[in-house]
Chains A and B, each alone.
Chain A
Amino acid sequence: MVIAVSNPKGGSGKSTTTLILATHLAHVGASVCVIDADPNRPIQDWKTKGKSQSNISVIADVNESNFFDVLDAQISKFQFIFVDLEGTASFLVSRAISAANLVIVPVQASAIDVRQASKAIKIVQDEEKAVRRFDPSRRINFRILITRTPAPGAPVSLSQRELERDLTEAGIPRFTNTLAERQAFKAMFNLRLSLQELTGDRRAGNLEAAYDNVEALARELITISSEETSTHEQLSRS
């Protein structure tokens, strides 16, 4: 399954989402590749400059010209291929979206993030229409993922409640789980370790809560993945 993580707005949590999900899925036994298409190469740096034993495969040096070739070379080797995209509206982003089974759109509860997310969603919908002209069974699903939310039990901001209401009213699909603002997620990048490798490190904060958050999110992702696969098979047969 090719999962593009995209929002033209920078700082929305794309790389954090990618790293957290990719390392967690790999930890529980999935074969996972990350195509780091962000020019800042945050995931590539995490992998090459850190000491993590996580077995995710990371590929960088992708551009508009070679993206499809890079993807084709990896696609049959992995259950999950994440594409961590740059925070700009580029052709590389649109091409990656066109090749994805699922687009995760991380969004913080802010007006700017929401506007940019709308931009990402509109292009997903148009790219899907275009790919279905030559493959009617093809779908490009998308899900909004609300990021940097308060920990469960903490007060939810008015802007987050408004965002959730807007999404519901507009029928925009989203992860029912959010990605909370957690010390452990920051520590993953700072220390270049997976969540599991942070065990015992006080800089990770409430590791158990972070683990629960990622576990719930990963379960939801796999559920979406399974549904996408079965829908595609049904449409292919019909």
Chain B
Amino acid sequence: MSNFLDLDSGEAEEPPSGSSLRDMLAKVPVSKPRPHLSPDISDKLATTHGFASRDHSDRFLGGIPVRRPVRGTTSEETKQLSIRMPVSLYKDFLSFADERRLTYSEAIRALLDGH
């Protein structure tokens, strides 16, 4: 049984022979700009097919990858903190840290010092 039976049909065509590839190329125009599908519509469609965002561009500033600064050495003892929070708050916090090029602990310190 075909693996493709549930797909719409298309048409195949035979390539011509005779003319050289250079001749054929001479007839191919330069590409033209075309309006794009709204990303929202495209993403919504893609989601129904199991596609998902894998974009990490929020980790980029002006096209330059943000390198999280190496954690500074400290003589103070450290402890792990794991926090569950709403996604919106999580994104806001990461943006806050990235924009200031702070580690997460430095960002928490900056936020605490702001009060």
Contacts and interface: CB of A to CB of B under 8 A. Distances in A.
B7 A169 contact: no
Nearest to A220: B15
Interface of B: 2-17, 21-22, 24-25, 27-37, 39, 41-43, 45-46, 48-57, 60, 63
Nearest to A218: B21
A119 B27 CA distance: 33
Given A172-B9, A174-B12, A224-B13, A76 B63 contact: no
Contacts of B25: 25, 28-30, 79, 222
Given A170-B4, A222-B25, A95 B30 contact: no
Contacts of B6: 118
Chain B contact surface mostly:
loop
A223 B15 CA distance: 6
B14 to A, nearest CB: 7
Nearest to B41: A130
Chain A interface bracket (under 10, 10 to 19, 20 to 34, 35 or more) = 35 or more
Contact of B32 (A75, A134, A165, A170): A75
A68 B15 CA distance: 31
A181 interface: no
Chain A contact surface mostly:
helix
B50 A89 contact: yes
Given A127-B45, A130-B45, A172-B9, A167 B31 contact: no
B24 A222 contact: yes
A2 B51 contact: no
20 contacts: A28-B22, A63-B60, A64-B39, A64-B53, A76-B30, A79-B28, A86-B54, A91-B46, A118-B3, A118-B6, A123-B46, A125-B7, A126-B49, A127-B45, A166-B3, A216-B15, A219-B21, A223-B15, A223-B24, A224-B13
A76 B34 CA distance: 10
